[in-house]
Amino acid sequence: MSSDKRKRVAHRPSLLERLLQDHVRALSAAFEAMARKPISSLVTAFVIGITLALPAGLHTLLLNLDQGDTGLQGSLRASLFLNDNTSQERGMALTKEITHHTGVSATRYISRAQALEDFRTYSGFAAALDLLKDNPLPATIVVSLDSRLPRPEVEDLLHNLAKLPEVAQAKLDEVWLQRLYAILALVQRAVVLIASALALSVLVVIGNTVRLDVEGRREEIGVLKLIGAAPGYIRRPYLYTGICYGLGGGILACLLVEAGVLALSEPAQQLSGLYDNTVRLHGLSFNAVVALFAAGAGLGWLGALWAVSRQLLRVEPAP
């Protein structure tokens, strides 16, 4: 064997290298196809971005509504009334211990003196309280529970807290608990339905865009079929086109959500200030951004696969 032949054999690309080269060529072809019609590509990505921004914005809004004591997490509270013989030091220590329980988001200790002072201030019975020799109000530990816990776990947690030796009585508004979980179930179902409908619309938009691309290159696809090109080889550039559309839409969706958060931050702070509270709106978390990109790329791939697979069945090899 000559040296030239040995060199050719030595430099023959492996299967992995050939696959990588095919994918690089397909990605390059997708970029070139999108660059040939920049306005149409930007419009498609913008439509996808708006569609993805709606459920992402709703998710961000719900997370911001669920922050702090004003949110849903702070609205589910249990009151633990302590025995009269429980000292203030023990009550404060017990409050810290309860904070470490699973499902407890925050705790607050209210001493007997503070409870009496609050009752005197807000009840309007200050004169009547002055007639009492002793303070009739017990010390209380207010426990804020995680509203995302299933209802049976909330009830088990409250049952365990009620069995503590320092606790005389544990009280949780059962009616509000039922209403809260009904609201959460309704919101979660609404989010799923909205996200499903919008995901379907993204599939239709990307599928229609890719279908038009395939229609414009029928002759080229026919030639590829004639020379025996595999269906996967023909589909690959269009699949990358769908992924690029989806990723572009995901980027625009993130920008739109962040712009919305910035636009609402100042009015939200002004509104919360009127209620003697401080609320700071938060944008998308890192996990949410990754999920949004993955959703965009996945929907783009599915939409392109659906469209190009149907169109390839209709394209016959050139005679």
d(CA 204, CA 52): 13
Which of 40-49, 55-64, 71-80 is the most confident on average? 40-49
Q: Say yes or no: 138 and 156 in one domain.
A: yes
Would residue 319 count as lying in a domain?
no
pLDDT tens digits, residue range 199-208? Answer: 888 888 888 8
pLDDT tens digits, residue range 129-148? Answer: 666 667 777 888 888 877 66
Q: Say yes or no: 239 and 276 in one domain.
A: yes
Q: What is the pLDDT of residue 69?
A: 46
d(CA 2, CA 183): 79
Would residue 111 count as lying in a domain?
yes
CATH code: domain of residue 120: 3.30.70.3040
In which domain, by residue range, is 154 found? 75-173
d(CA 192, CA 189): 5
pLDDT tens digits, residue range 139-195? Answer: 888 888 776 677 788 778 888 888 888 888 888 766 666 676 677 778 778 888 888
Would residue 2 count as lying in a domain?
no
d(CA 45, CA 199): 14
Instruction: State mean pLDDT over 230-234.
Output: 78
Residue 275 sits at φ, ψ, to 5 deg, of -105, 20
* Chosen domain end from 140, 173, 206: 173
Would residue 301 count as lying in a domain?
yes
Would residue 4 count as lying in a domain?
no
Would residue 58 count as lying in a domain?
yes
Q: Say yes or no: 140 and 188 in one domain.
A: no
Q: Say yes or no: 243 and 298 in one domain.
A: yes
DSSP string, 73-86: HHH-EEEEEEPTT-
Would residue 148 count as lying in a domain?
yes
Would residue 1 count as lying in a domain?
no
Number of structural domains, the chain? 2
Among residues 299, 287, 116, the alpha carbon closest in space to that of 200 is found at 299
Which pTM was predicted? 0.64
d(CA 192, CA 198): 10
